[in-house]
Chain A
Amino acid sequence: MGEWDLLGHLLDKVQSHSTVIGKVWLTVLFIFRIMVLQTGAEKVWGDEQSDFVCNTQQPGCENVCYDLAFPISHVRFWILQIIAIATPQLLYLGHVLHVIHVEKKMKERMKKQEELDDQTNLLLKRAYKVPKYTKSSGEISIRGRLLRSYVLHLLAKIALEILFIVGQYLLYGFSLQTRYVCTRFPCPHKVDCFLSRPTEKSVIIWFMLVAACVSLVLSLVELFYLCVKAVKECMARRQDYTVTPVTPPPSERKAFKNRDEMIQNYVNLENGSPENNNMGEIHI
């Protein structure tokens, strides 16, 4: 896996900050796509140009016909595809690392605050922010901005995957024919050119296509799963939400009839409103 090690190492880091389906997606990527590409596809396409033979003696004709038939080789196309779909994940990793870095700094600041006396503590607590993403166990939970970033990366991945699958279809179709007919200078007339190992190549093309579709389906399922979870949590929170009357503005405020009413109002205010999260919290 030599050259893919760095990519593997970086994508592994994201694993701990993805959903379960995200982890499955990563495994599919590494085993069914990268490994197959390295061990199988490269050997099959190894003699693609040397064994591309045209029925002509005209020098240069084979070169130009090969160039016309394969503007970019399948293997290179798949390499670019894998790099392209890994990129949104790497951008998400960047965001996660940034969040971890910021939260670490906040925690350090909070530790320093604890050493101050209570009075200054009270004043400073309101001024400083509190770590938002770190759970009590020390892990990062995917919520708020991080969740938004995760969903965006999923959408980008899906879009790129579809783009490359459609691109491959438009360039080559999904199987290779044995014969390619070519009429390009300097070929003197319509020339028959014969590909090397078309059947074996078609098998691998189908395999890589299926792997790409599986990855696409996994990404779609993950998106759907996140949506469903978000809706469920939203509904659950709405049910827990006890409606308390909001304190009326001073002009409309009446004097409390008795002491009990005043205490009840105070208690309501103390309970406060639920946390104001834009996208809600997802515990994965």
Chain B
Amino acid sequence: MPLTSSMSWPALYTQLVGANRHATSLGKIWLSVLFIFRVMVLVVAAESVWGDEQSDFTCNTLQPGCENVCYDQFFPVSHIRLWCLQLVFVSTPTLLVAMYVAYRNHRDKRKLLQVCAFAKGQDEELETLKKRRLPIAGALWWTYACSLVFRLLFEAGFMYALYVVYDGFQMPRLVQCDQWPCPNLVDCFISRPTEKTIFTVFMATTSSICMVLNVAELVYLVIKAFTRDFPWVTQN
């Protein structure tokens, strides 16, 4: 069974959607772009493209073991695994926000229980507490902004790592290898290089779109905070 199916993307989605209630509209768009254009494409399409990457990696030699070492030299980490890790890391900062919201709710619940210990309608108040949407201000603003910065760093980091490990976003058709036990410089042929290039470029593009959304959201948050704290600036 492929790794990503057992990683339970739906469970991650449920977690993120819960945390995303306190996000801005751009944050909600980011989540949809993430899951439709990246996770879904990864699971539905990209996995089958990379499925036979080692079995159809052929080298022009009969020397046993040569194909193994050559494959290992050129593909230290498969694209699929890098993208899975990238998606997991990029989703994690949102959980920071979820943790903060949970902490706030817990604190407010305790305060509520202390204040109206004998009052009626306490259950209703608790319900509204759970369902309310906290405004993005104060400590929540800082947590949210931090999560955006981390997201950007992880995205950029993984894109750069992919670029460095594979020397660009294009998959070559032929690689030459002379690792022991290959007897001489051996031609090795990669399976489906064009299709792999297409999907690598697609994933890089969607990653850039997500980064742009994150930057836009950060700018929006900063402007919002600025206009809130200095309202006289916007008044003429």
Contact = CB atoms under 8 A, between A and B. Distances in A.
A161 interface: no
Given A67-B193, A71-B198, A83-B41, A186 B60 contact: yes
A4 B39 CA distance: 11
Given A59-B59, A59-B61, A98-B25, A5 B49 contact: no
Contacts of B60: 58-60, 186
Interface string B39-62: 011011100110010011011110
Interface string A70-87: 111101100110010010
Contacts of A63: 56, 58, 173, 189-191
A7 B36 contact: yes
Interface secondary structure of B, over-half rule: helix
Contact of B49 (A3, A7, A73): A73
A82 to B, nearest CB: 10
B161 interface: no
Interface residues of A, number: 33
A50 B202 CA distance: 25
Contact of B189 (A6, A7, A60, A94): A60
Given A67-B194, A71-B194, A79 B44 contact: yes
A50 B192 CA distance: 12
Contacts of A90: 32, 36
A59 B70 CA distance: 15
A211 interface: no
Given A67-B194, A71-B198, A83-B41, A76 B48 contact: yes
Interface residues on B, range: 35 or more
A6 B194 contact: no
A71 B195 contact: yes
Contacts of B41: 79-80, 83
B62 to A, nearest CB: 9
Nearest to A73: B195
B195 A72 contact: yes
Contact of B56 (A50, A80, A185): A50
B187 A186 contact: yes
Nearest to B49: A76
A67 B61 contact: no
A98 B192 CA distance: 42
Contact of B40 (A7, A50, A59, A66): A7
A6 B40 contact: yes
B13 interface: yes
A29 to B, nearest CB: 14
Interface string B177-193: 00000000001111111
A7 B35 CA distance: 9
Nearest to B57: A63
Nearest to B59: A59
Contacts of B49: 73, 76
Nearest to B190: A63
A204 interface: no
A64 interface: yes
Given A59-B59, A59-B60, A60-B187, A79 B32 contact: no
A10 interface: yes
CB-CB nearest 6 A-B residue pairs = A60-B189, A63-B189, A71-B194, A59-B60, A79-B45, A3-B43
Interface of A: 2-7, 10, 42, 49-50, 58-60, 62-64, 66-67, 70-73, 75-76, 79-80, 83, 86, 90, 94, 98, 185-186
Interface of B: 9-10, 13, 25, 29, 32, 35-37, 40-41, 43-45, 48-49, 52, 55-56, 58-61, 173-174, 187-195, 198-199, 202
Given A63-B58, A76-B45, 7 more contacts: A2-B10, A63-B189, A67-B173, A70-B192, A73-B192, A76-B195, A186-B189
27 contacts: A3-B43, A3-B44, A5-B10, A6-B36, A10-B32, A49-B56, A50-B56, A59-B60, A59-B61, A60-B59, A60-B189, A63-B58, A70-B195, A71-B195, A72-B194, A72-B195, A73-B48, A73-B192, A75-B48, A76-B48, A76-B195, A80-B45, A83-B37, A90-B32, A185-B174, A186-B174, A186-B189
